[in-house]
Structure 1
Amino acid sequence: MKDIPFVSSGYRFMVTEAPTMKMREKGGEMVPAADREGRVPFVVMLFAKPRPVAGQRPGKGEEIKVTVASEPGEEIEEGSYVELINPVLNTWQTTNDEGRITGSGLWFKAEAVKLAGQGGLSSAA
């Protein structure tokens, strides 16, 4: 399965590093990682912390990397709280010659990020 939509409203997202253009190695040097249409996505590092739920212990959260299809605005900087626009997740796995799974994981994508409004629930345009 590919590009599985998920509801991200149960989390607060804080930018932990300034967004960067997605790069890949080609011919021994790093070049922008353009898609088939020639667009270069960006990478945004976020700390994803679960929102408090009454009667439950608060979650710890973790850092995630999100590939964003469009360039984040200058207002998206380290320490900003953001919302993900149309977030999706994808899975990956690697296998050895015998067909055994040797690694697996998730990666996140979104069309865009925008500044979160008061409490991270609404957007600031």
Structure 2
Amino acid sequence: MLRNIPVNMQGYKLMVTEAPQEKTREGENGKSEFVTDREGVQQFVVSLFAKRRVQPGEFAGKGEEIKVTLTADPGEGFEEGVYVQLVDATVSHWENNGRSGLSFKANGLAPANVQIPAAA
């Protein structure tokens, strides 16, 4: 199974459709519980509308909403309608009970107009 493949989203406009919040899941007792990584660090999730950037004369096509797990609290300023970029984004393929898809993960968010240093 392919996991944590670096992905370059520079060719897409990413707009927040649901502000970042703590990631939760339904626990065994049916109650909502916070999601943490293997080290116990709280995870966050943000919903983004991704649409391809186009050059003059090109057709943009349809966009798609994606949910991105964030490995840390992105902080303030990422409310609905804000354009962002992902910091150190990865994608993984998943399969479960006959269903499959892609899951996106990033180390954080940055405003769309900020230069992000390359990952080491």
TM-score class normalised by the smaller sequence: 0.7 to 0.9
Q: Please, what TM-score do these two structures have when normalized by structure 1?
A: 0.84
Structure showing greater radius of gyration is: 1
SS at match of 1:35: coil
Instruction: Name the structure 1 match of 2:13.
Output: 12
Shift of 1:74: 1.2
Structure 1 residue ranges, 4+ long, deviating more than 3 angstroms after superposition: none
Identify the match of residue 91 of structure 1 among 90, 93, 114.
Answer: 93
Instruction: Name the structure 2 match of 1:49.
Output: 51
SS at match of 2:19: coil
The CA distance in 2 between the partners of 1:36 and 1:58, in whole Å, is 39
Instruction: Name the structure 2 match of 1:112.
Output: 108
Contact residue 51 and residue 60 of structure 2 kept, 8 A: no
Shift of 1:53: 3.0
Instruction: Name the structure 1 match of 2:3.
Output: 2
The CA distance in 2 between the partners of 1:40 and 1:54, in whole Å, is 42
Note the residue ranges of structure 1 that are not aligned, 5 or more in a row.
Answer: 96-101
Amino acid at match of 1:6: V
Note the residue ranges of structure 2 that are not aligned, 5 or more in a row.
Answer: none
Kindly provide the CA deviation profile for residues 37-56 of structure 1, in whole angstroms up to 9, marking residues without a partner as x. Answer: 11111100000010013443
